[in-house]
Amino acid sequence: MNLHEYQAKELLQQFGVAVPKGIKVTSQQEAVEAAKELGGPWVVKAQVHAGGRGKAGGVKFVRTLQDVEELSGRLLGSTLVTHQTGPEGVPIHALLIQDGVDITKEYYLSCLVDRSKKRIILIGSSEGGMDIEEVAAKTPEKILTLTIDPTAGVQPYQARDLGFRMGMAKKQVDQLVKVVSGIYNLFVQKDCSMVEINPLIVTNDGQVMALDAKISLDDNALYRHKDTAEMRDPSQEDEREHIAHEIGLNYVALDGNIGCMVNGAGLAMATMDVCKLHGGEPANFLDVGGGATAERVARAFKLILSSDKVKAILVNIFGGIVRCDTIAQGIIDAVKEVGLTLPVVVRLQGTNVEAGREMLAKSGMNIMAADDLTDAAKMAVAAAAK
Ligand code: GDP
Ligand code: MN
């Protein structure tokens, strides 16, 4: 789950990281009031779950109240398309009205898990305010990392070393120590999967501040963080992913046209791989879980069908805990309810498979049965291509 910049900055402040003064608003009137309270100049920032706002017109430096009013009126209620959003963009429902600060230098700093090292790492760079992927591709020597020992935690000398390697002066390095320990503590205590400050700036009067902030939280740990769990903004998420979350299905929207319904995350990944191997593109990842009931299957089916990209459906179920006849009933119920017109390929194996197949065959519906996964995938790819 991702947070908005204003929420990320609230958390950073709680952990001792300095941020420019700012006020989150949701109307034009509030924007003008906030601007009066802060005193100009200001930066008006669209609050959306996407980076690259600056280049897309979602972050603007303004010097008059009139400009704040005009810009906030234009941004609120519109959608912002950045290089990270896809052509449909993301809706702007809130703005951050922030003190416009004078910048001497922009840096990059982030904290994330390095899975190969099995450690939390910090990444720093002198090339702030830019696309960090581009920096990594063009000038990899400018990407500096710091690996944290989980028992010792982050040590001040490590932070100082990183700061000097990033080219900071001593006065800034001293402040960086606080920033580094702050984001590390935030990362660990709030179960983040990423904390990114881009840019981390040095102001004209020598202050180190987080000018922008992005935080991603580990969904699997949200249950133990009521405060951050409440920060969810469904308007920024894929609608189907949101529905899936509500009903407890593991669903990820993808770009293809073959809807996949599978039980077990590993089998779901393998199903997508086999689809691609045979020239198809999955429309989604969906794991209905081990304890799927007919009702869950029906809901999952409806979720897949709610996308108009889907041209064929591939059901791949191994009946272990969940029995094949239960799955068959769920498919039949869902198809009846939504009035299915798309081709459905079903591959069932496992407990009560005979009963399940018989139910599907007798249902009178246009369902193609397949015995193994390769056949099933080929049939689905062919059906989607028609
Ligand atoms: P992003 O484009 O979504 O990453 O949004 P950012 O918040 O990082 O803003 C983009 C760029 O706008 C920053 O890299 C800065 O160069 C500039 N910017 C943002 N806020 C300020 C500010 O207060 N003062 C100045 N001078 N520039 C700013
Ligand atoms: Mn940024």
Instruction: Concatenate the DSSP letters of all residues of 247-273 into one string.
Output: HT-EEEE-SSSEEEEESSHHHHHHHHH
Q: Which residues are CB-neighbours of 42 under 8 A, at least 6 positions away? A: 35, 61, 62, 63, 68, 97, 98, 99, 100
The pLDDT value recorded for residue 196 is 98
- The number of the ligand nearest the C-alpha atom of 203 reads 1
Percent of the chain with pLDDT over 90: 74
Q: Is the pLDDT of residue 327 over 90?
A: no
- The number of the ligand nearest the C-alpha atom of 99 reads 1
Give the span between the Cα atoms of 44 and 46, in whole angstroms: 7
User: Counting beta carbons within 10 angstroms of the beta carbon of residue 376, is it exposed (0 to 12), middle (13 to 18) or buried (19 or more)?
Assistant: buried
Torsion of CA 158, 160, 163, 169, to 10 degrees: -170
CATH assignment at residue 280: 3.40.50.261
For ligand 1, atom 17: residue with the closest CA:
54
Question: Ligand 2 mean position to 105 CA, how many Å?
Answer: 14
Question: Ligand 2 mean position to 50 CA, how many Å?
Answer: 10
User: Do residues 369 and 229 share a domain?
Assistant: no
pLDDT digits (tens, 9 = 90+) for 107-143: 999 999 999 999 999 999 999 988 899 999 999 999 9
pLDDT digits (tens, 9 = 90+) for 253-289: 898 999 999 988 999 999 999 999 999 999 999 998 7
- For ligand 1, mutation pick of 49, 212, 214, 236 (most atoms within 8 Å of CB): 212
Higher pLDDT residue, 58 or 87? 58
Instruction: Say if residues 98 and 181 touch (Cβ distance below 8 Å).
Output: no
User: Do residues 265 and 361 share a domain?
Assistant: yes
| Mean per-residue pLDDT over the chain, rounded | 93
Q: 67, 83, 100: which is the final residue of a domain?
A: 100
Give the span between the Cα atoms of 259 and 311, in whole angstroms: 8
Q: Is the pLDDT of residue 290 over 80?
A: no
pLDDT digits (tens, 9 = 90+) for 156-189: 999 999 999 999 999 999 999 999 999 999 999 9
Atom of ligand 1 nearest to the CA of 20: 23
Atom of ligand 1 nearest to the CA of 128: 14
Q: How far is CA 101 from CA 12, 39, 57, 125, in A?
A: 18, 12, 18, 21
Q: 215, 233, 251: which is the final residue of a domain?
A: 233
Question: Ligand 1 mean position to 54 CA, how many Å?
Answer: 6
Confidence of residue 305 (pLDDT cuts 50, 70, 90): confident
Closest CA to 35 of 55, 61, 12, 13: 61
Give the span between the Cα atoms of 331 and 362, in whole angstroms: 13
CB of 52 within 6 A of ligand 1: the answer is yes
User: Do residues 27 and 150 share a domain?
Assistant: no
Q: Does 108 participate in catalysis according to the annotation?
A: yes
Mean pLDDT, range 241-257, rounded to an integer: 87
Q: 42, 65, 100: which is the final residue of a domain?
A: 100
Mean pLDDT, range 8-34, rounded to an integer: 98
Least reliable range by pLDDT among 31-45, 237-251, 352-366: 237-251
Confidence of residue 203 (pLDDT cuts 50, 70, 90): very high
Confidence of residue 319 (pLDDT cuts 50, 70, 90): confident
The pLDDT value recorded for residue 229 is 95
The pLDDT value recorded for residue 302 is 85
The pLDDT value recorded for residue 296 is 81
User: Do residues 126 and 92 share a domain?
Assistant: no
User: Do residues 217 and 323 share a domain?
Assistant: no
CATH assignment at residue 137: 3.30.470.20
Mean pLDDT, range 231-238, rounded to an integer: 90
Closest CA to 46 of 8, 79, 3, 88: 79
Q: Is the pLDDT of residue 11 over 90?
A: yes
pLDDT digits (tens, 9 = 90+) for 342-386: 899 999 999 999 999 899 889 888 788 888 999 999 999 999 998
Structural domain tally of the chain? 3
- Total residue count of the chain as it appears in this document: 386
Instruction: Say if residues 297 and 263 touch (Cβ distance below 8 Å).
Output: no
SS3 at position 363: coil
The pLDDT value recorded for residue 299 is 85
Percent of the chain with pLDDT over 70: 99
User: Do residues 159 and 208 share a domain?
Assistant: yes
Q: Does 196 participate in catalysis according to the annotation?
A: yes
Question: Ligand 2 mean position to 246 CA, how many Å?
Answer: 30
Confidence of residue 105 (pLDDT cuts 50, 70, 90): very high
User: Do residues 282 and 339 share a domain?
Assistant: yes
Beta-strand pair 367-370/344-350: parallel
Give the span between the Cα atoms of 31 and 23, in whole angstroms: 8
Give the span between the Cα atoms of 52 and 83, in whole angstroms: 6
For ligand 1, atom 15: residue with the closest CA:
129
User: Do residues 377 and 269 share a domain?
Assistant: yes
Q: Is the pLDDT of residue 291 over 80?
A: no
Question: Considering 6, 107, 108, 184, which one is annotated as catalytic?
Answer: 108
Q: Is the pLDDT of residue 148 over 90?
A: yes
Q: What share of the chain is helix, strand, coil (3-state, %, to 5)?
A: 40, 25, 35
Give me the domain span that covers residue 83. 21-100
CB of 128 within 6 A of ligand 1: the answer is no
Confidence of residue 63 (pLDDT cuts 50, 70, 90): very high
User: Do residues 96 and 108 share a domain?
Assistant: no
Question: Ligand 1 mean position to 254 CA, how many Å?
Answer: 31
Give the span between the Cα atoms of 334 and 362, in whole angstroms: 16
The pLDDT value recorded for residue 185 is 98
The pLDDT value recorded for residue 108 is 98
Atom of ligand 1 nearest to the CA of 198: 8
Closest CA to 280 of 241, 240, 310: 310
Instruction: Say if residues 185 and 177 touch (Cβ distance below 8 Å).
Output: no
User: Do residues 312 and 268 share a domain?
Assistant: yes
User: Do residues 379 and 346 share a domain?
Assistant: yes
pLDDT digits (tens, 9 = 90+) for 215-225: 999 999 999 99
Give the span between the Cα atoms of 166 and 188, in whole angstroms: 24
Token reading at 339: 């009035």
Confidence of residue 316 (pLDDT cuts 50, 70, 90): very high
User: Do residues 242 and 205 share a domain?
Assistant: no
CB of 101 within 6 A of ligand 1: the answer is yes
Q: Which residue has the tokens 């291509």?
A: 385
